[in-house]
């Protein structure tokens, strides 16, 4: 995005000039220097450290609330007639879909539709809404899931995803249409959507288990809550993007509001709405795998169990299945979006040969569904999952080889970064007095983001102290900041390269798009093999998970710098390095700030995932809270601390982005 620089003579006022931008870095440097000086004097005092097994009064109160809710669940009217009813409806839906495609039904040893029918339905639907290439990809992908020996786990994941997406879309699309039609509704829902999309995935799990218990129902509810915001936001954007002249033309022809909506607004925004469905499905799939921590069945549970036992081969096989499912669902919905656009340009006309072929395909699919419902050979995937066993053995072999031959290199890299950057920064945060760290954060927030960001930092820092997990929060903050710095290094290097070269952009962008499809769990597996179960593994996985979005934002910012400005710098004799550092990056600083914002949020969303592989701190607290009843309150407080860190980061970086682009 282009940054407009306002000249004093163009303002038409005699207002004094704002302070130069160079003053802000000097103030930040002064704050850091003062912090370091006070740290040297006050190190180790008022650190608010808490042992792993210790609880505060807040944690015990959360435990008491959990126990009280459990005791009153079947007698309290609020639970009897509200929460329990919601749980019953969702549980019934999930059970129905599971018995349909994944779990044995009543009186049957197999699901209602077996593997052959599911593969046939998947191929037919992919062809009907997309094209034959996507259909082949879908059939091959789902068949591969069976060959991996993970058919039932994959279908459990698909069942929970479909259930959550169905309910999410039933709520999100009407609300998105309403927000698109009404400015007031749009202003009301936007802050809530911003907040919901800021929170890491795991944060939804702990509070929902209070009301809906641990199990598939809670996992589905958490998933639909997490997956709904993209559909609401994109649907509202699609409705609001329809040209006003088109709407005015419909009004002048006497169309009612209902006719304008159904005949003009929705058809013209169909492609964008389908893109929203795509984002909802991807978010749901990521959340369903994460929800394995609250006993959601499927591939996520397989990955969690493998990570906890450090079984890299099994984790890799299940992670690969998640990737395959994500790619199939993404390509099908993307192809559906493209078909919607083609149909709109063709005014709804379809090729004469397509309808008979669709009818024939429906008949073949019906036969496959009947066979899979009737015969065991068509219901249970044949074979013993030999492909999956081979993949697991291969992953274990590669892991052993890497640990035997690359350990010197990987350990040196890990130790250099840990001792040179992570440990000193973590020591500064955890060994400084809590009030000193809080004052430094507030000062940095106010300088970088302005007064409101400073107030937000005051509130968040105070609440972090109240959670009783200040030391763990600072440890998590250290890892998050270090990972974000690495993300921005990658983002700037690759983003500038992509922004300056169309060829590099064409080569890298598909890889970045594919990387954004994969759920967070998948990133842990290869780095677990390379670095073992350490906090460094979690940091590297977070960097790789967050880098694609930062790279794409930086690339777009560099690309949007006016070509005339770059040409003028070139004609003035500037070198490539000077053009990048003196022209393109300064003019793309708003994009850099936005990339930092998104990188922080993505890194923070990996905090709890990293708790599965030795990251410790808040991630470990959340995971322990799910697995150990006496630590439930502490895990809930850790989830709250993660939210507070996310809100603080988001508000500071968003405010900084606005100030930079102003």
Q: If you ran DSSP here, which 8-state letter would residue 628 be given?
A: -
> Which of the given ranges, 238-252, 348-362, 576-590, has the highest pLDDT on average?
576-590
Q: Length of the chain, please?
A: 662
Looking at residue 449, what is its pLDDT? 84
CB atoms within 10 A of CB 388: 25
Between CA 243 and CA 251 the distance in angstroms is: 13
Higher pLDDT, 474 or 405: 474
**Lowest-confidence pick of 200-209, 394-403, 507-516, 583-592:** 200-209
Looking at residue 14, what is its pLDDT? 44
pLDDT at 472 over 70: yes
Q: Which two tokens stand for residue 66?
A: 């959990």
Between CA 473 and CA 644 the distance in angstroms is: 10
Higher pLDDT, 13 or 620: 620
Q: pLDDT band at 4, cuts 50/70/90? A: very low
Q: Cβ distance 327 to 514 under 8 Å? A: yes
Between CA 571 and CA 597 the distance in angstroms is: 35
Query: What angle separates helix 520-531 from helix 299-308, to the nearest 10 degrees?
Result: 20
Q: pLDDT band at 132, cuts 50/70/90? A: confident
pLDDT at 19 over 50: no
Q: Cβ distance 486 to 543 under 8 Å? A: yes
pLDDT at 10 over 70: no
- Report CA-CA distances (Å) from 390 to 140, 142, 313, 324, 394: 18, 18, 9, 17, 6
What's the chain's average pLDDT?
A: 84
pLDDT at 7 over 50: no
- Report CA-CA distances (Å) from 118 to 285, 363, 370, 597: 18, 14, 11, 41
pLDDT at 37 over 90: yes
**Mean pLDDT in residue range 418-433:** 90
- Among residues 128, 533, 61, the alpha carbon closest in space to that of 335 is found at 128
- Among residues 98, 91, 74, 325, the alpha carbon closest in space to that of 221 is found at 91
pLDDT at 660 over 70: no
Looking at residue 654, what is its pLDDT? 77
Q: Cβ distance 543 to 484 under 8 Å? A: no
> Which of the given ranges, 428-432, 507-511, 529-533, 641-645, has the highest pLDDT on average?
428-432
Place of tokens 């040196």: 412
Place of tokens 């350490």: 534
Give residue 617's Cα distance to chain centre: 21
| pLDDT tens column, 99-131 | 999 888 777 888 999 999 999 999 999 998 888
**Mean pLDDT in residue range 351-376:** 87
Global pTM? 0.78
**Mean pLDDT in residue range 593-603:** 82
Higher pLDDT, 42 or 629: 42
Looking at residue 497, what is its pLDDT? 92
pLDDT at 562 over 50: yes
- Report CA-CA distances (Å) from 423 to 119, 447, 542, 599: 51, 26, 18, 21
Looking at residue 404, what is its pLDDT? 81
Looking at residue 167, what is its pLDDT? 92
- Among residues 224, 220, 226, the alpha carbon closest in space to that of 202 is found at 226
Q: Cβ distance 79 to 472 under 8 Å? A: no
pLDDT at 241 over 70: yes
pLDDT at 198 over 70: no
Looking at residue 517, what is its pLDDT? 67
**Mean pLDDT in residue range 494-512:** 87
pLDDT at 8 over 60: no
**Mean pLDDT in residue range 418-441:** 91
Between CA 469 and CA 640 the distance in angstroms is: 10
Q: pLDDT band at 467, cuts 50/70/90? A: very high
Between CA 175 and CA 156 the distance in angstroms is: 29
Looking at residue 248, what is its pLDDT? 78
pLDDT at 2 over 70: no
Q: Cβ distance 522 to 309 under 8 Å? A: no
**Mean pLDDT in residue range 177-196:** 85
Per DSSP, the residues of 348-411 read T---TTHHHHHHHHHHHHHHHHHHHHH-HHHHSPPS--HHHHHHHHHHHHHHHHHHHHSHHHHH
Query: What angle separates helix 57-72 from helix 205-212, to the nearest 10 degrees?
Result: 30
User: Could you tell me if residue 555 is left (phi over 0), alpha (psi between -120 and 50 degrees) or otherwise beta?
Assistant: alpha
Sign of CA dihedral 128, 133, 137, 140: positive
Place of tokens 């998050």: 480
Q: Cβ distance 379 to 110 under 8 Å? A: yes
| pLDDT tens column, 446-462 | 998 888 889 999 999 99
Between CA 77 and CA 601 the distance in angstroms is: 38
Percent of the chain clearing pLDDT 90 (strictly above)? 24
Q: pLDDT band at 9, cuts 50/70/90? A: very low
Place of tokens 């990737």: 323
Looking at residue 59, what is its pLDDT? 92
Q: If you ran DSSP here, which 8-state letter would residue 9 be given?
A: G
Between CA 404 and CA 198 the distance in angstroms is: 40
**Mean pLDDT in residue range 128-155:** 92
End-to-end CA distance of the chain: 12
Per DSSP, the residues of 521-572 read HHHHHHHHHHH-SSHHHHHHHHHHHHHHHHHHHHHHHHHTS-HHHHHHHHHT
Q: Cβ distance 176 to 276 under 8 Å? A: yes
Burial letters 48-73, b for 16+ CB under 10 A, else e? bebeeeebbebbeebbeebeebeeeb
User: Could you tell me if residue 614 is left (phi over 0), alpha (psi between -120 and 50 degrees) or otherwise beta?
Assistant: left
**Lowest-confidence pick of 200-209, 302-311, 324-333, 362-371:** 200-209
Looking at residue 614, what is its pLDDT? 65
């Amino acid at each position: 995005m282009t940054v407009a620089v306002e000249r004093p003579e163009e303002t038409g006022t005699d207002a004094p000039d704002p302070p130069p931008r160079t003053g802000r870095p000097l103030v930040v440097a002064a704050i850091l220097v003062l912090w370091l000086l006070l740290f040297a004097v006050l190190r180790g005092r008022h650190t608010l450290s808490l042992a792993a097994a210790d609880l505060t009064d807040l944690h015990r109160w959360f435990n008491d609330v959990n126990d009280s809710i459990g005791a009153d669940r079947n007698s309290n009217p609020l639970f009897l007639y509200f929460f329990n009813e919601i749980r019953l409806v969702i549980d019934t839906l999930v059970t129905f879909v599971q018995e349909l495609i994944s779990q044995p039904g009543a009186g049957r040893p197999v699901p209602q539709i077996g593997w052959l029918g599911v593969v046939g339905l998947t191929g037919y639907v992919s062809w009907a809404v997309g094209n034959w290439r996507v259909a082949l990809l879908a059939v091959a992908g789902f068949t591969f899931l069976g060959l991996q020996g993970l058919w039932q786990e994959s279908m459990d994941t698909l069942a929970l995803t479909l259930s959550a997406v169905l309910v999410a879309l039933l709520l999100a699309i009407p609300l998105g249409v309403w927000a698109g039609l009404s400015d007031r509704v749009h202003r009301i829902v936007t802050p809530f959507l911003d907040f919901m999309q800021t929170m890491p995935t795991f944060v939804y799990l702990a509070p929902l288990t209070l009301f809906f218990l641990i199990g598939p129902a809670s996992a589905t509810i958490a998933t639909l809550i997490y997956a709904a915001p993209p559909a609401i936001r994109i649907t509202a954007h699609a409705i609001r993007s329809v040209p006003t002249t088109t709407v005015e033309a419909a009004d002048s022809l006497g169309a009612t509001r209902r006719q304008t909506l159904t005949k003009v607004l929705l058809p013209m925004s169909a492609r964008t709405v389908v893109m929203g469905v795509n984002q909802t499905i991807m978010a749901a799939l990521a959340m369903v795998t994460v929800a394995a921590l609250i006993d959601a069945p499927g591939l996520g549970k397989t990955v969690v169990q493998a990570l906890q036992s450090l079984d890299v081969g099994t984790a890799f096989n299940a992670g690969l299945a998640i990737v395959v499912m994500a790619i199939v669902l993404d390509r099908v919905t993307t192809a559906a979006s493209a078909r919607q656009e083609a149909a709109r340009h063709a005014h709804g006309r379809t090729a004469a040969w397509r309808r008979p072929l669709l009818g024939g395909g429906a008949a073949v699919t019906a036969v496959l569904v009947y066979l899979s419902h009737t015969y065991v050979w068509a219901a249970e995937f044949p074979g013993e999952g030999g492909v999956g066993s081979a993949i697991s053995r291969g992953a274990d072999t590669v892991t052993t080889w890497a640990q035997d031959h690359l350990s010197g290199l990987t350990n040196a890299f890990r130790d250099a970064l840990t001792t040179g950057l992570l440990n000193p920064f973590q020591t500064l945060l955890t060994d400084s007095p809590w009030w000193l760290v809080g004052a430094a954060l507030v000062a940095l927030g106010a300088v970088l983001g302005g007064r409101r960001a400073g107030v937000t930092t005051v509130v968040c820092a105070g609440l972090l102290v109240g959670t009783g997990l200040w030391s763990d929060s600072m440890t998590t903050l250290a890892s998050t900041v270090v990972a974000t710095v690495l993300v921005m290094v990658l983002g700037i290097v690759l983003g500038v390269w992509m922004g300056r070269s169309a060829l590099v952009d064409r080569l890298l962008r598909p890889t970045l798009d594919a990387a954004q499809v994969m759920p967070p769990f998948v990133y842990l597996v290869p780095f677990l093999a390379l670095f073992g179960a350490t906090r460094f593994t979690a940091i590297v996985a977070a960097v790789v998970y967050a880098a694609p979005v930062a790279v794409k934002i930086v690339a777009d910012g560099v690309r949007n710098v006016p070509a005339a400005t770059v040409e003028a710098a070139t004609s003035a004799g500037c070198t490539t390095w000077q053009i990048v550092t003196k022209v393109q990056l300064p003019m793309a600083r708003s994009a850099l700030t936005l990339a930092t914002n998104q990188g922080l949020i993505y890194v923070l969303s990996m905090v709890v995932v990293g708790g599965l592989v030795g990251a410790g701190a808040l991630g470990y607290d959340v995971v322990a809270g799910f697995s150990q009843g006496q630590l439930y309150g502490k895990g809930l407080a850790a989830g709250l601390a993660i939210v507070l860190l996310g809100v603080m980061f988001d508000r500071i970086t968003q405010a900084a982005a606005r100030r930079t682009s102003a």
